[in-house]
A and B are shown apart, each in its own frame.
Chain A
Amino acid sequence: MYLLMAAESDGFFTKTWDVFTRYQPLFLNAIQSTLLVAFVGTIAGLCIGLIIGGIRAVTSHVEQTHSPFTKVANKVIYGITSIYVEIFRGTPMMVQAMFLYYTFFAPLFRWTPMMSAMVIISVNTGAYMAEIMRAGIQSVDNGQIEGARSIGMSNIQTMRYIVLPQAIKNSFPSIGNEFVVNIKDSCVLNCIQFSELFFIAKSVQGTIFSYAEPFFIVGCIYLLLTFVTSRILGMIEKRMNHKRSSYPASVTTPQANMLNKE
């Protein structure tokens, strides 16, 4: 019995390796597609998130000093961005992909599956990023903003040079997590004929009439990709937090009496 299982499992791995080497170019191509769409989706989603999240952070609070017009405008703008965020976070990306691709992207814009996949994953990620960035922006201490305003920086300069860099740094773990999620979740884009890993596994399965090997292979590939990505992100995060700590951080002030008293 034991021998039989060993023999069988040995057979499984040999067969899997066989399938992998035979369809290697397909799998390697699919890795590229998956990584590309996950990367583009994360970066473009981050850009969308910065803009939408920034708008949401600014319009979400009402100040006494605001004029009635500003108050109403803020509510309306916040409401519109909420609709975007709620729709794209509240429905499966697969549904979004099927609807957008077959109603607009393919028939009207003549976009390729690749192009459509990138747009869909970007817009989807953008909705999550908007909330990540809104929270990130709101976590920046108000004193930072007052400090910037007190030296004459405009609202936009304050955002660009002071608030956003800190917001991005604070939310870097969540931003990185979106990338890892995108590597995995991009698999639903097979539904619009985008040839990423899952799509390739399915077509290999269709040729060899066996599920186990191709899906075991892509499973391993997904695991490898997410594992390596997480490690790299973790390293970047560590570096960001330790960048300046090599400098002697003195608690006392030996320079206290060094005022030039000429």
Chain B
Amino acid sequence: MENIIKINHLRKHFGNLEVLNDIEFHVDKGEVITIIGSSGSGKSTLLRCINLLERPDEGEILYHGKDILKGTMDINHHRTKIGMVFQSFNLFNNKNVLDNCMIGQIKVLKRSKEEAMQKAMYYLEKVGMKEFAHAGSTQLSGGQKQRVAIARALCMDPEVLLFDEPTSALDPEMVGGILDVMKQLADEGLTMIVVTHEMQFAKEVSTRVVFMDKGVIAEEGTPKQLFEEPKEERTREFLGRYISSR
């Protein structure tokens, strides 16, 4: 099967800090990949390199076989294909819920207003926010904001959706709802890469778990392999620490 994304020898440093150190990584259609690892291991940086919010120093990121790091790539077009959901939601404060979902469609994809509105309402309904279409985005709770952020990303019809700790900034009672939305998207076959600390979600939903440590992918495998019989000492240590801290 052709990889949607294939990453070769990716390196990134901030100052003297090697944040990504020779990363090899690939994503196939329909996969739900969770990335776990301790704080500072480079999970966000890897995710942000995939849609070029962060520019790697070396290596290749092939999207359908084409290197997006080559100068000829249209970065903005690439980003419409790779959606992103942030920990801090990042809804546009100057737009209401509906406009948040429409502006990218209209200004970037050049869709008609009617088409954009239809699609926005479809996805707002899907995430349970249709009733709030005309609410100001600053007046929603965290959980509601994240639902809208997911709808905004889906409106662009992305091929892959990236999630960077989508539930970490939420009150505990909001987490379940967002995970349910994500689970549903996974069931519908959307390709997703999710950085998360929700181990239960990683276990139940993902097709592959990637454990990162100090800028490298230390181990990857099915949830069963990784959680039940980790090969690497540092994976065992991380999971052990994680479970005992809960």
Contacts and interface: CB of A to CB of B under 8 A. Distances in A.
Contacts of A91: none
Interface string A230-262: 000000000000011101111111011111110
Contacts of A250: 141, 144
A interface: dominant SS: loop
Given A146-B53, A152-B79, A247-B136, A259 B141 contact: no
Contacts of B152: 151
A151 B80 contact: yes
B139 A150 contact: no
Given A244-B139, A260-B126, A149 B144 contact: no
Interface string A119-136: 000000000000000000
Contacts of B86: 143, 146-147, 150
A242 B96 CA distance: 13
B77 A148 contact: no
A65 to B, nearest CB: 5
Interface string A136-170: 00000101101111111110010001100110010
B141 A253 contact: yes
Contact of B107 (A161, A166, A257): A161
A65 B49 CA distance: 13
A64 interface: yes
B35 to A, nearest CB: 17
Contacts of B140: 249
A143 B125 CA distance: 25
B128 A256 contact: yes
B79 A147 contact: no
Contacts of A144: 90, 92-93
Contacts, number: 115
Interface size bracket, B side: 35 or more
A259 B123 CA distance: 10
B51 interface: yes
B135 A247 contact: yes
A21 to B, nearest CB: 49
Contacts of A260: 125-126
B186 interface: no
B169 to A, nearest CB: 11
Contacts of B141: 250-253
B92 A148 contact: yes
Interface in B131-152: 131-132, 134-136, 138-141, 143-144, 147, 149, 152
A258 B181 CA distance: 10
Interface in B1-44: 14-15
Interface residues of A, number: 37
Contacts of A152: 76-80, 104, 108-109, 156
Contact of B184 (A147, A153, A249, A261): A261
B177 A256 contact: yes
B130 to A, nearest CB: 8
Residue in A143, A154, A165 with the greatest tally of chain B CB atoms within 10 Å: A143
Contact of B94 (A153, A165, A252): A165
B84 A150 contact: yes
Contacts of A243: 136
A161 B51 CA distance: 21
Given A151-B108, A250-B144, A259-B181, A245 B139 contact: yes
Nearest to A164: B94
Contact of B103 (A150, A161, A257): A161
B68 to A, nearest CB: 13
A149 to B, nearest CB: 6
B90 A255 contact: no
B79 to A, nearest CB: 4
A247 B130 CA distance: 14
Given A256-B180, A257-B177, A259-B181, 12 more contacts: A143-B89, A144-B93, A147-B91, A149-B79, A152-B77, A152-B79, A152-B104, A153-B108, A161-B107, A249-B140, A250-B141, A255-B128
28 contacts: A64-B14, A64-B15, A143-B88, A144-B92, A147-B90, A147-B149, A148-B92, A150-B51, A150-B79, A150-B84, A151-B83, A151-B153, A152-B77, A152-B79, A153-B107, A154-B76, A161-B103, A161-B107, A166-B94, A244-B96, A250-B141, A250-B144, A253-B128, A253-B141, A256-B143, A257-B177, A259-B181, A259-B184
Q: Which 7 A-B pairs have the closest CB atoms?
A: A147-B90, A244-B136, A255-B128, A151-B104, A152-B80, A143-B90, A150-B84
